[in-house]
A and B are shown apart, each in its own frame.
Chain A
Amino acid sequence: MSSEGKAQRAEELATENAVLRGRIAELEVELGEQASRANEAVARLEERVYWLDRWHLDLNSLMKKPGAAQFRALLRAVRAPYRWVVNLSRKRGS
């Protein structure tokens, strides 16, 4: 290979190198953001489930117990008339 060809090849490699380094830097930033988002999500979740953890309650397991679905249906059934009464009393109040 001529010296001119070698120089051109070196330049190509340097350019490729710079592109790859740039890509690594981008991926590093992405990885950092992912770690940050994952940690934030876990922290938010821990904030939400504090009382469940405090009482050692695993709702997924609890809702698989016999009667849990019926209990939930009962609550929903009670909730509807309760809301109706609350809304009615609010309307009267206003």
Chain B
Amino acid sequence: MTRTSVVIPVKDGGQLLSDVLEATARERPDELIVVDSGSSDDSVRMAREADATVIEIPPSEFGHGRTRNLAAAKATGDIICFITQDASPVPGWLAAYVDAFERNERIGAAFGQHLSRDDTSPMIARELEGFFAGFNSDGEVTTQASTDEDGWHPGFLSNANAAYRRKVLLEIGFRDLAYSEDQAFAEDLFAAGWLKAYVPAASVVHAHDFPFTQFMRRYFDEYRGLNEAVGHVEAAAPRAAAQTVRSQLAQDVAWMKANEYSVGEQAMWIPRAAAHHGGRHLAAVAGSRANRLPAIVQRAMSLEGRGEERADPARQSAIKTEPVAPLRRTELFSEVLDLEHNGVAELLAPVPGMSEKERLHVAVVIPPFRKGSGGHDTIFRIFRHIEQMGHTVSIWLSDPLGRMHNEWPAVVRKRIREEFVDLDAPVYKGFDDWFGADVALATSWETVYPMLELPGCRARAYFVQDHEPEFFATSAESVWAQNSYRQGLFAICASPWLAEMMRDEYGAQASVFHLGVDAAMYYPRPVPRRRDTIAYYGRATTPRRAVSLGMLALAELNRRRDARIVIYGDPLPPESTFPFENLGIATQEELALLYSEATVGLCLSVTNYSRAPQEMMACGLPCIDLAGFSAESVFGEDGPVELSEFSPVAIADHIERLIDDQELWERRSVKGLDFAAQHSWDAAALEVEQGLRAALRAREQ
């Protein structure tokens, strides 16, 4: 049985409030809450007589979002409805909302129709009718999923008559805005993947029929709120405004005729309607630019009497600032803050022999991905092999910013299988369904923080593919990335260089795995080997590949001799002083052909090594990388890779040596083929499996 709560914020509700309370009581909600912000009339007494729970707050604490959040926190209903003190529910209002929420579990919020009162002015009544008919004129419930979708006002939501699924409201909450907290909520609701429904049967009788000046002041407030919530600024275009006024006036006249207004009544309303539409445009222009007006003018124009500079001295400031409304639902890097609040979850007690268990359950926590991501490709390849060894693998996508929020789990899984490898593992988004694991594995610095909060694990480990603090300038991100290595996680590192760094600089326990080569893709293809071609991995968008240095080296080479230079890795070719050929984002097949045809491969890394040199070697192509970083730890000092100093001249020298010295070229090529043959993804997965077992063993000791 669905429980319902109805919340009515009140201030000096007057006689209309009595009608509203009576109409609400007829709907038989399980709970009625009235939040009174300093009424000087009988509102509180009326609310108590209607058996409402009354929450009294000082007027200074009132905020449309803040106050409703306060009431929502006290409410106990599964569905929480909000109406205003002048909106009377019509019979069947509450039942219609309950029915809509029960029929569709994806609806997070709903709103209903506003009907005009008998004394409502014709231009307001006509607009209300037209506006709500635009959502659906056949009386059926309709849903909206995005503010960008086609259709009638997809971002509309009004707390004068709205209902919310309790868990959604508590999870998202209203922003603390002076106005338009409902419209801002609609944006946040969609961003979180919920639907908004229009429930025509959930109607209220509600029309703001005020005297002219009061109307204008109200519009001023509404447009100021809209500007604060979503940045809307009404265009000040007199000609267009005049056309709009004329068109609305014509619609008003047609509506009055259809509703059998007498000629005299029409003649009386037409001037007022013209003033109303024209005045509204002016109020909208002024309201959406309220922050540019002096506080005294703002107060004079506002029905709420709100000016930018508050009378409260504690809120006054000597400097002029521009208020900025909250625009995000989730703060960037909120997982860091969450961990500080919630703390690290305790690991399960170790069980003797757990590190030698035949079948481990490894929960791999990944960040969002894009097609072609090398880091994700390595993760998925290795864990495909781990699955084939008989272990159970599950993939957990940590996406606090919702970069992949439009892709539901089955779609994410399909993308992994189509764009990377055929993993059998299921994909979970977020951690709501978390059920523990033998080893929980973080795969990037951002995934460490949420992973540390996950309970039910025997061990936690960290799949380290690079030294991530170096991806950032000195910044909070670089420090968080460093701190991610200091969380006591067992590091399974993609090179001895990284493992040494984890041990020496961060005091972590570490094991090593070596990146593999896909031998079915990368092998010497039957194409003639040219003697003049340099294949350069020049991905400028990845600064750790030192593209500025590589381009200088190629410019130096070009100054010395004619050579064919082929650059790949970025869709846009880099700008240079020398001619070259651009292969862009190449397919693996194209790369294998290029490596089989070229004379020298060039791939520079100033952090951990790339997979590219091994793939070049697997095609028999000798390759140059930089000395002094990670390459020696993998390839040795005089191994398959020609190591160069960090100098454009030295790199150009090495390229020339490999072009001119056939004996050196042959030696490097043969060593490279041998090296690549020993570095399969099977072997890499075995090393990672040993690392996972070592993480468990470390817990047994």
Contact = CB atoms under 8 A, between A and B. Distances in A.
Interface of A: 21, 24-25, 28-29, 32-33, 35-36, 38-40, 42-43, 45-47, 49-50, 52-54, 56, 58, 60-61, 64-66
- Pick the 7 closest A-B CB pairs, nearest first: A53-B408, A42-B426, A53-B410, A46-B410, A43-B426, A64-B103, A61-B104
Contacts of B354: 28
Nearest to A60: B105
Contact of B106 (A40, A47, A58): A58
Given A24-B351, A43-B426, A36 B359 contact: yes
A54 B357 CA distance: 38
Contacts of A65: 103-104, 141
Interface of B: 102-106, 140-141, 145, 351-354, 357-361, 392-394, 406-411, 413-414, 424-428, 435-438
A45 B424 CA distance: 12
B277 to A, nearest CB: 38
Nearest to B354: A28
Contacts of B425: 39, 43
Nearest to B409: A46
A21 B352 contact: yes
B392 A35 contact: yes
Contact of B410 (A32, A33, A49): A49
Nearest to B390: A36
A15 B235 CA distance: 86
B394 A32 contact: no
Contacts, number: 86
A41 to B, nearest CB: 8
B392 A64 contact: no
A29 to B, nearest CB: 8
B410 A54 contact: yes
Nearest to B437: A35
Contact of B427 (A46, A49, A64): A46
Nearest to B428: A42
A40 B424 CA distance: 8
A21 B106 CA distance: 47
A32 B696 CA distance: 15
A65 B409 CA distance: 24
B354 to A, nearest CB: 7
15 contacts: A28-B354, A32-B357, A32-B358, A32-B361, A35-B392, A35-B437, A40-B426, A42-B426, A46-B427, A50-B410, A50-B411, A61-B105, A64-B103, A64-B104, A66-B103
Contacts of A40: 424, 426
Contact of B411 (A39, A54, A58, A66): A54
Contacts of A60: 105
Contact of A32 (B360, B413, B427): B360
Given A24-B352, A35-B392, A65-B103, A56 B426 contact: no
Contacts of B426: 39-40, 42-43, 45-46
B394 A53 contact: no
Nearest to B352: A21
B410 A66 contact: no
Contacts of A64: 102-104
A28 to B, nearest CB: 6
A44 to B, nearest CB: 9
A50 B392 CA distance: 22
Nearest to B193: A56
Contact of B357 (A21, A28, A45, A58): A28
A32 B393 CA distance: 11
Contacts of A29: 357-359
A54 B418 CA distance: 14
Contacts of A61: 103-106
Given A24-B352, A38-B435, A43-B426, A53 B105 contact: no
B361 A53 contact: no
- Residue among A33, A38, A46, A50 with the highest chain B CB neighbour number at 10 A: A46
Given A35-B361, A58-B104, 18 more contacts: A24-B351, A25-B353, A29-B359, A32-B392, A33-B359, A35-B437, A36-B359, A39-B393, A42-B426, A46-B426, A46-B427, A53-B407, A53-B409, A54-B411, A58-B105, A64-B102, A64-B103, A64-B104
A64 B413 CA distance: 28
A60 B437 CA distance: 31
A29 B354 CA distance: 10
Contacts of B437: 35
Contacts of A47: 410, 413
A55 B174 CA distance: 29
Given A38-B435, A46-B410, A49-B410, A56 B145 contact: yes
B321 to A, nearest CB: 41
- Residue among A33, A36, A52 with the highest chain B CB neighbour number at 10 A: A36
Contacts of A66: 103, 140
A78 B303 CA distance: 61
B411 to A, nearest CB: 5
Nearest to B424: A43
B360 to A, nearest CB: 7
A75 B524 CA distance: 58
Contacts of A50: 410-411, 413-414
Contacts of B427: 46
A65 B437 CA distance: 39
A53 B359 CA distance: 31
B159 to A, nearest CB: 25
A35 B435 contact: yes
B371 to A, nearest CB: 16
A91 to B, nearest CB: 40
A20 B389 CA distance: 29
A42 to B, nearest CB: 4
Given A39-B394, A46-B413, A61-B105, A32 B359 contact: yes
Contacts of A49: 410
Contacts of B411: 50, 53-54
